[in-house]
Structure 1
Amino acid sequence: MSAKKSQAKTEQADLTADLVIAGAGYVGLTTAVAVKAASPHLNVTIVDGAPAGAWKKDPRASAIAAAASRMLNQLGCWEEILPEAEPITEMVITDSRTSDPVRPVFLTFDGEVEPGEPFAHMVENRVLNGALHKRAGELGIKFIEATSVDGFETLPQEVQVHLSTGETIHTKLLVAADGAKSKLRDLAGIKTVDWEYGQSGIVCNVSHEKPHNGVAIEHFLPSGPFAILPLKGNRCSLVWSERTADAERLISQDDFIFEAELEQRFGHHLGPLRVEGMKRAFPLGLSLSREFVKPRFALVGDAAHRIHPVAGQGLNLGFKDAAALAQVIVETDRLGLDIGSFAALERYQAWRRFDTVRMGVTSDVLTRLFSNDHLALRTARTIGLGLVDRLPSLKQFFIRQASGLTQDIPRLLQGEQI
């Protein structure tokens, strides 16, 4: 065999995979790591359209629920993350106007789901993504970076995934983890139910003088929720919902004016504030895919659903997708069956779609209920929050929901191997 023919054969082998995941965000990486860790013989390839190393510059932070941290521990990532993770020891909820001199606390939650186990940790995105990248490398997952999926063709026995380089990968299953504006979801012909709230979420980190002691605070203001989430050290991550026009105005201001507006909402309980790095605004809305799967094709994460951050569950919904799809793939493979078969993918869809719709509806109701200044609704909110605060069993139910430790969750989210 000539050297030229041998090289062509090697290139063809490199462009064959059992599983291709488009998108190297947290959910795409987690899906890849979960499958590869449980079934090392499977060839898993990630196609990442972002520039190489772009994730290292992400200034945002995320709330990692207890179920997700159990999964990350099982996958061999949590030990890398934990030194930089800040446990949420208490959750405080208030409901007031920006101009109110005092913001009474209507509801508080103890931060533990089990003794010594917080219901959530705050983790900076670069730390989370770094740990997942490192673990993926250790497992031998192949990365094709700075390359996007331009299209795909589904055949009875495979998917031909066409890359922006002009190359084609032949695979059994294509997973779209390419975000809320998923190109692959559209190419698959999957429709979504969408609406916008006329709000944008301002995201930034701040440093402050006094320790936060792990306390997270959510102020429900007429323009939307304002969440203060503790980070390592005397620092917090903010998720600040404002009407879109106001958010754009605030983002365009210099730090002095922005910090003055921020202090009106944040308060002075942690001393002087200083904005760290960039501040960004993202439009807020609800988007639910009508289907999660097509033949040899599946959606995960924001490609399947986008919800309002009012309940802090967007990323954790994506982690549930990753854990469920990985379990379906691995169990199907162990039976010697086709991991891209529609029967296997329908099991994943049935598992995830109801929970996603339920959480989408919940976040929508909370957004509409709390993002207003209507007197009757304010009174109802005050009564409702007060009742919940006085019923320990109901508070425990909400903590379990926020932790992700609910019924019928995938084994990884229970801290068990697939």
Structure 2
Amino acid sequence: MTGQTSAQTDTNDTTPIDVLVAGGGYVGLATAVAVKAAAMHLRVLVIDASPPGSWKKDPRASAIAAAAARMLNRLGCWQPILPEAQPINEMIVTDSRTADPVRPVFLTFDGEVVPGEPFAHMIENRTLNAALHAKAGELGVEIIEGVGVDSFDAGPNTVAVHLSDGLVFETRLLVAADGVRSRLRDRAGIKTVQWDYGQSGIVCTVHHERPHNGQAEEHFLPAGPFATLPLKGNRSSLVWTERTRDAERIVNQDDFLFEAELEQRFGHRLGEIKVEGPRRAFPLGLMLVREFVKPRFALVGDAAHGIHPIAGQGLNLGFRDAAALAEVIVETDRLGLDIGSIAALERYQAWRRFDTVQMGVTTDLLNRLFSNDITPVRAIRDIGLGLVDRMPSMKQFFIRQASGLTRNTPRLLQGEAI
């Protein structure tokens, strides 16, 4: 059999899979682990098309909101992550031009939801992936790596899932977690609403001379936001938005010229900077699905939504999908009902659709408002930022929103068992 498994999968076993997750990224693994942790009798299989072990080489980092951290803690994944997690103790927001010698701070946020609980942590992706893989193996979640899902055929009681190596699995529910360009979403006939921003996000890690003290910064520049997010040690993860044509030019420059461009935006507050590891540019756009589910089929993560990184909520939106879908699956199973029925899955869709559209519209408006250099617009937004900075209750509201601890939150995200 092509691929590797974290639990031995008998390819001659004709026992149907209960939940098959196509996609072994963070959201796909979190969905599988959350279901299996609450319902050990269910057979859960993850099919990951990525080369075996490629997740160990992921150089990127992610912001994990407080709600997602509570879920990971409830699932038993947080303790191995915590030593490598950098809490965000403070967030500052500036609005300026690239060449401005001084960037006035218009808005600051203290980093705690409640005393002792930061609203977010920065975590390197390989650390997060390692914890999820370890927990999946401990629970008996089966994982096949290096093999993709070619096609599927939904029947009245199961879905026949055809893999690229010729294997076929029968499952009661197929969960597509195969990314923003999801082939399975297209095959299911689910339509999307999407457009391109003409921007790309440059992602890289830098080392700097002086400590960041857990402070994150979001600089609103004419081409788009430039965010510096603290990592363990004297390092920061950067999400740097540029117009696509400029991003391609910047990323393809040699190290000296790239760091010169970077220094213009990063500044000298933390001393000399040096880029660590690769730098990459990703096209940015908005993508929202018209439906989250079909009979025996559900979308999670980037397969269901792609939003601008201006609010740092993309991955956390996916974790909300995972928590909500797991809760629906487990509660439906406990009632002795069909976990793949459209009646069960429509509860998941109703739960997630409004939140997703709301976040997509919010990030779209923020990007349009702040990614320009129109003087009257700049004046209005700076006044608005200054007013929010003087309203503690409003700032606390935004912190709660950023932390993911909003109303109607799935139980796992509140730190409770399903």
Q: What's the counterpart of residue 405 of structure 1?
A: 405
Q: What's the counterpart of residue 98 of structure 2?
A: 98
1:384 is paired with a residue whose SS is helix
Instruction: Give the letter for the 1:189 counterpart.
Output: G
Same amino acid, percent of matched pairs: 74
Shift of residue 167, structure 1, vs aligned partner: 1.2
Q: What's the counterpart of residue 7 of structure 2?
A: none
Q: What's the counterpart of residue 121 of structure 1?
A: 121
TM-score scaled by structure 1?
Answer: 0.97
Find the aligned partners of 1:59 and 1:227 in 2 and give their Cα distance: 17
Q: What's the counterpart of residue 262 of structure 1?
A: 262
Find the aligned partners of 1:407 and 1:88 in 2 and give their Cα distance: 23
- Equivalent pairs counted in the alignment come to 409
2:275 is paired with a residue whose SS is strand
- Superposed CA RMSD in Å reads 0.7
Shift of residue 376, structure 1, vs aligned partner: 1.0
Q: Does 1:179 align with 2:183?
A: no
Shift of residue 244, structure 1, vs aligned partner: 0.3
8 Å contact kept, 1:185–1:303: yes
Q: What's the counterpart of residue 328 of structure 1?
A: 328
Shift of residue 144, structure 1, vs aligned partner: 1.2
Q: Does 1:76 align with 2:66?
A: no
TM-score scaled by structure 2?
Answer: 0.97
8 Å contact kept, 1:15–1:168: no
Shift of residue 14, structure 1, vs aligned partner: 5.8
In the alignment, structure 2 segments of 5+ residues that lack a partner are: 1-9
Find the aligned partners of 1:77 and 1:169 in 2 and give their Cα distance: 28
In the alignment, structure 1 segments of 5+ residues that lack a partner are: 1-9
Shift of residue 15, structure 1, vs aligned partner: 6.5
Query: How is 1:63-212 mapped onto 2 (pairs within 5 angstroms)?
Result: 63-212=63-212
Find the aligned partners of 1:255 and 1:59 in 2 and give their Cα distance: 17
Find the aligned partners of 2:11 and 2:323 in 1 and give their Cα distance: 32
Find the aligned partners of 2:11 and 2:81 in 1 and give their Cα distance: 36
Shift of residue 195, structure 1, vs aligned partner: 0.4
Shift of residue 189, structure 1, vs aligned partner: 0.3
1:359 is paired with a residue whose SS is helix
Instruction: Give the letter for the 1:311 counterpart.
Output: A
Q: What's the counterpart of residue 312 of structure 2?
A: 312
Query: How is 1:209-228 mapped onto 2 (pairs within 5 angstroms)?
Result: 209-228=209-228
8 Å contact kept, 1:202–1:239: yes
Q: What's the counterpart of residue 6 of structure 1?
A: none
8 Å contact kept, 2:16–2:172: no
Find the aligned partners of 2:377 and 2:327 in 1 and give their Cα distance: 43
Instruction: Give the letter for the 1:337 counterpart.
Output: L
Q: Decide which moves more: 392-401 or 12-21.
A: 12-21
Q: What's the counterpart of residue 35 of structure 1?
A: 35
8 Å contact kept, 1:120–1:403: yes
1:13 is paired with a residue whose SS is coil
Q: What's the counterpart of residue 354 of structure 2?
A: 354
2:52 is paired with a residue whose SS is coil
Which digits, 9 at most, give the CA deviation of each residue in 1:31-87, with x for residues without a partner? 000000000000000000000001111110000000000000000000010000000
8 Å contact kept, 2:59–2:126: yes
Query: How is 1:258-407 mapped onto 2 (pairs within 5 angstroms)?
Result: 258-407=258-407
Instruction: Give the letter for the 2:392 counterpart.
Output: P
Shift of residue 13, structure 1, vs aligned partner: 1.6
